[in-house]
Amino acid sequence: MEKRVLGAFGLIILTWIGYYYIIYPMYAPQRPAPVDRMVPQEQPRDFAAGDDPAGVYPQGETTGPAFDAPPDAARSAFDAPPDAAAPEPGRTPPHRIEDRPRQDLAADSWDRSERVLFLPPAEGAPAPRDIVVENQYFRGVINTMGGVITSWKLKGYRGIGGEEVELIPPDRESGPDIVLTTERGPRSTRALRFAADRDAVVLGPGQSSGSVTLTADAPGGLTITKAFVINRDDYAVDLQVRIDGGQDLALGSKYYLRWGGGINVTERDWDQDLYAFRGFASLNDTVIDEDLGTEFEDPRPETTGETHWVGVRSKYFFTAMVPVDRKARGYRLNGRPVQRAQYDDRQIAAELSMGLASPLMDNFLLYLGPVHYDTLESYGYGLEGAVDLGWTIIQPISRITLISLVWLHQFITNYGVVIIVLSIIVKILLFPLTHKSMKATQGMAALQPKMESLKEKHKNDSTKLNQEMMKLYRDAGVNPLGGCLPLLLQMPILIALYTIFSSTIELRDAPFIGWIQDLSLRDPYYVLPVLMAATMLIQSKMTMKDPRQAMFVYIMPAVLFFIMMNLPSGLILYWTMINVLTIVQQAFQNRFFPVQPAK
């Protein structure tokens, strides 16, 4: 193997080592500071009168049995009839509001420089209760305390314990919350107790959509209305916000739609899931990607500009808020470390800044679902920008590779077999280049004796030696870099596959065979990494002609084994198959196109 090939392999090794031992530790989630730096929760207090409420979550009550939505639920929630359907026996909401600990936003405005207070509920407001909303994709819970989402479970995906994936983190503020600006500072509506026109919206066969409207009164003659419109075959929810009155509150020029609790960790590999946490915003058609919450920092101020959406993403799931009728004035993204009982976590808050005038009605799209490129793209707001397809130069290859995998999966149900077929297709496409590469390697081997003779002859004149070497290559028709080209062409595909396996929902929980039940995770018994190293050793020995390369031949597979042993098993399967196919091609080449001695 020529020195330039060794140099190429050396660069590959240095790249992997640099990523895992230098870059990854710089951005991996760090353990939060000692607990005494965390902002403590205060003891619950009663609401004070006037404009300075203590901002406490009052203790709520649970609902009774859930009810089905009527089949003729109107698309426009504000015009929907207030009648409720008959109860469905045996169904109880999965979330109880008294299970949520009380939080004091007035004392814990962790992501703002100003103090945020709660608007107190109107006297005689109804007791809090849970409203179940359900379609074929999710089962959610909206609590009338604040009109916020307290649970959102995806039916088609399994979480850490095998249960349905829960996107809402426990023991945190819920959203979407409305924070109003006033002359006396920001006021949150999360303590308002809303009245609901329905007990549940459960869409069954024949029901295309349904809605629930929540209305609450606040001091100063303010009325807040939130309407959630659920569609049967959609992860997204339409949210309509109406603000009326409030002249006595001296409202400011804007309000914030806030998603403050972030997103829940859903994967067995906790660290990898947490590492992928990001806050997103689409500002002036540019997607802003912020790695937040790895350490404590001062609250980031609002970023102004035409904002199309904001969101929070984990490894495989995404929540986003999109203003539909008019663009937001700006956005705010913040994060902080959170320490749970047995592990570290991150909380990322996202806000849209909207112009405020009373009366007002705004429409939003709320997305709570998987990081699925086609689904996100179908909404037409650029939400697919939250999908991690790698570096800009790699993204087209990642997209083509993902499309190929999904297309092949239409005919082959096992993604492991799909990867094998993909590796065969790639090998066929690269066959002409690989064939030339092998011929170049054979040519270099045939020239080895003459090269040694030239080195001995011109050992004291490096300039003359290089000139004679180039003349020898030219006369023999050999390209000394020809052996590197197929390897370099495959590297973007390998990087694209790594990105796809690490961040797209298609490969999540995709089984292959026996012990490999998730191709997006490492091989639990390291069988595939061992096979990869073994096939690489065989491949290297088949091309080794110089005995001085023997140490490299044995060391290289071992080094790559330890570097790649914890990478997704789907990626290792692909590389192993490429090695196997290369061995077959090399055997064919050696059999029918043997090395001819140099003349």
Question: Strand, coil or helix: what is 550?
Answer: helix
Q: Is the pLDDT of residue 475 over 90?
A: no
CA distance 564 to 373: 27
Domain count along the chain: 2
Name 284's Cβ contacts closer than 8 Å, sequence gap at least 6: 305, 306
CA distance 146 to 178: 9
Q: Which amino acid is at 477?
A: G
Question: Strand, coil or helix: what is 575?
Answer: helix
Same domain, 450 and 550: yes
Q: Is residue 30 part of a domain?
A: no
Same domain, 280 and 227: yes
Share above pLDDT 90 across residues of the chain, in percent, rounded to a whole number: 50
CA distance 338 to 311: 19
CA distance 518 to 501: 10
Question: Strand, coil or helix: what is 152?
Answer: strand
Same domain, 507 and 580: yes
**543 or 363: which leads in pLDDT:** 363
Q: Is the pLDDT of residue 554 over 90?
A: no
What's the pTM?
A: 0.78
Q: Is residue 212 part of a domain?
A: yes
Same domain, 217 and 260: yes
Mean pLDDT of all residues in 347-351? 94
Give residue 8's pLDDT band: very low, low, confident or very high (50, 70, 90). Answer: very low
Burial (Cβ within 10 Å: 0-12, 13-18, ≥19) of residue 77: buried
User: How is residue 434 written in tokens?
Assistant: 């690989």
Q: Is residue 33 part of a domain?
A: no
Share above pLDDT 70 across residues of the chain, in percent, rounded to a whole number: 77
Same domain, 382 and 427: no
The residue from 329, 359, 386 where one domain ends is: 386
Highest mean pLDDT: which of 119-133, 452-466, 576-590? 119-133
Contact 182/156 with Cβ under 8 angstroms?
no
DSSP characters over 346-392: EEEEEEEEEE--SSEEEEEEEEEEE--HHHHHHTSSSGGGGS---ST
pLDDT number for residue 2 = 45
**593 or 104: which leads in pLDDT:** 593
pLDDT number for residue 524 = 93
pLDDT number for residue 546 = 62
Same domain, 344 and 442: no
pLDDT number for residue 143 = 97
For residue 218, which phi and psi values (nearest 5 degrees)?
-135, 165
Same domain, 307 and 443: no
Task: State the CATH number of the domain containing residue 172.
Answer: 2.70.98.90
Mean pLDDT of all residues in 51-73? 34
Question: Strand, coil or helix: what is 108?
Answer: coil
Tens of pLDDT, residue by residue over 140-190, are: 999 999 999 999 999 999 998 889 999 999 888 899 999 999 888 899 999
Same domain, 474 and 552: yes
The residue from 341, 360, 386 where one domain ends is: 386
End-to-end CA distance of the chain: 20
The residue from 344, 364, 386 where one domain ends is: 386
Mean pLDDT of all residues in 192-211? 94
pLDDT number for residue 353 = 95
Q: Is residue 335 part of a domain?
A: yes
Same domain, 153 and 297: yes
Contact 519/510 with Cβ under 8 angstroms?
yes
Q: Is the pLDDT of residue 580 over 70?
A: yes
Q: Is residue 9 part of a domain?
A: yes
Same domain, 9 and 125: no
H or E element, residue 486: helix 485-503
Least confident of 116-120, 435-439, 492-496: 435-439
Helix axes 527-543, 569-592, angle to 10 degrees: 20
Give residue 56's pLDDT band: very low, low, confident or very high (50, 70, 90). Answer: very low
Q: Is the pLDDT of residue 239 over 70?
A: yes
Mean pLDDT of all residues in 470-475? 77
Q: Is residue 195 part of a domain?
A: yes
Closest by CA to 503, choosing from 310, 261, 318, is 318
Find how far residue 390's CA is from the centre of its chain.
Answer: 12
Tens of pLDDT, residue by residue over 121-139, are: 988 899 999 999 999 999 9
Same domain, 181 and 237: yes
Same domain, 283 and 374: yes
Q: Is the pLDDT of residue 100 over 70?
A: no
Mean pLDDT of all residues in 329-338? 95
**369 or 35: which leads in pLDDT:** 369
Q: Is residue 310 part of a domain?
A: yes
Closest by CA to 260, choosing from 217, 321, 194, is 321
Name 51's Cβ contacts closer than 8 Å, sequence gap at least 6: 184, 219, 249
**5 or 231: which leads in pLDDT:** 231
Q: Is residue 598 part of a domain?
A: no
Burial (Cβ within 10 Å: 0-12, 13-18, ≥19) of residue 264: buried
CA distance 174 to 190: 8
Burial (Cβ within 10 Å: 0-12, 13-18, ≥19) of residue 449: exposed
User: For the chain, what is the mean pLDDT?
Assistant: 80
CA distance 164 to 154: 6
Q: Is the pLDDT of residue 116 over 80?
A: yes
Host domain of residue 140 = 40-87+96-386
Q: Is the pLDDT of residue 257 over 70?
A: yes
